């Protein structure tokens, strides 16, 4: 399976966004299930990692961390972030790869897919195919924890650092302030959001202290229901699929590669 042209275009856009992304990632909430999964100090892979989301938690747990992203610029920022967060260099393993092109991760015990990454990837490739490829890259008994944006019964949507159903749609508004020294010169991120049934379209505009736009980019995400996620993980060969609904944040899915299936 090779990267689609859409996936390549998204990765190229993140190369330009990397200078802002480190500051953005600091606002992403830690998954509620993560602390318990880190108690044994496992070998964790964060994919796609961007600039790294939960590196402080990994460092506290004494985990070895494999950072996987298809964007070299994002990955370089993640490695630097890992060092600053306290993950020793000898326990930090960078890998440039698309999720669906992973090589076999023989030592990994926990996979973390952060901040609705699966929602964005599902706008470029089949989610079932991607999860199947992920499962095939893992040995039996590995846990996979994903933060996902879900449509809720009654029409609501999980809140996130990039989307809030209560905010006005189709208009620009300021949603994040930065220290420009740590955000590529940007002091403000403006956002314009739009929902179309099971799709989200989010635009970001990064603004310097003089009010000039530094970079504008668009992110598209597919929304899932809890049942869709259970069915898709199961179809991809995972077992013990558990769903934790969002409570003022993103939902979480925890699934296990089948201990009875050998690669």
State pLDDT tens for residues 175-220. 999 999 999 999 999 999 999 999 999 999 999 999 999 999 999 9
pLDDT of residue 255: 97
* Contacts within 8 Å (CB) and 24+ apart, 156-161: 157/195, 157/200, 157/223, 158/246, 158/249, 158/250, 158/251, 159/246, 159/248, 159/249, 159/250, 160/115, 160/116, 160/249, 160/250, 161/24, 161/27, 161/28, 161/29, 161/115
pLDDT of residue 3: 59
> pLDDT tens, 2-11?
557 777 777 8
pLDDT of residue 40: 87
The pTM score is 0.94
Percentage of the chain modeled with pLDDT above 90? 81
Candidates 73, 237, 255, 74; CA nearest to 148 is 255
Contact 213, 229 (CB under 8 A): no
Angle separating helix axes 127-136 and 226-235, nearest 10 degrees: 50
Residue 247 pLDDT > 70, yes or no?
Answer: yes
């Amino acid at each position: 399976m090779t990267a689609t042209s859409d996936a390549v275009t998204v990765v190229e856009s993140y190369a330009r966004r990397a200078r802002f992304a480190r500051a953005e990632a600091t606002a992403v909430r830690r998954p509620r299930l993560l602390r318990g999964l880190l108690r044994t100090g496992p070998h964790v892979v964060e994919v796609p990692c961007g600039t790294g989301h939960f590196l402080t938690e990994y460092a506290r747990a004494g985990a070895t961390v494999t950072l996987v992203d298809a964007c070299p610029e994002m990955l370089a920022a993640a490695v630097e972030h890992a060092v600053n967060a306290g993950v020793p260099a000898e326990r930090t393993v960078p890998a440039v790869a698309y999720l669906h092109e992973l090589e076999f991760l023989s030592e990994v015990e926990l996979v973390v897919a952060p901040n609705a990454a699966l929602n964005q990837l599902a706008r470029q490739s089949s989610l079932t195919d991607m999860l199947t490829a992920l499962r095939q890259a893992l040995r039996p008994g590995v846990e996979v924890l994903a933060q996902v944006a879900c449509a809720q019964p009654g029409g609501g949507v999980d809140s996130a650092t990039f989307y809030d159903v209560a905010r006005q749609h189709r208009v620009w508004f300021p949603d994040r302030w930065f220290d420009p020294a740590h955000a590529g010169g940007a002091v403000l991120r403006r956002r314009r959001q739009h929902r179309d049934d099971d799709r989200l379209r989010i635009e970001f505009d990064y603004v310097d202290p003089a009010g000039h736009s530094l970079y504008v980019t668009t992110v598209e995400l597919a929304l899932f229901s809890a049942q869709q996620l259970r069915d898709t993980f199961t179809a991809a060969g995972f077992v013990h699929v558990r769903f934790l609904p969002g409570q003022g944040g993103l939902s979480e899915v925890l699934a296990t590669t089948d201990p009875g299936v050998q690669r």
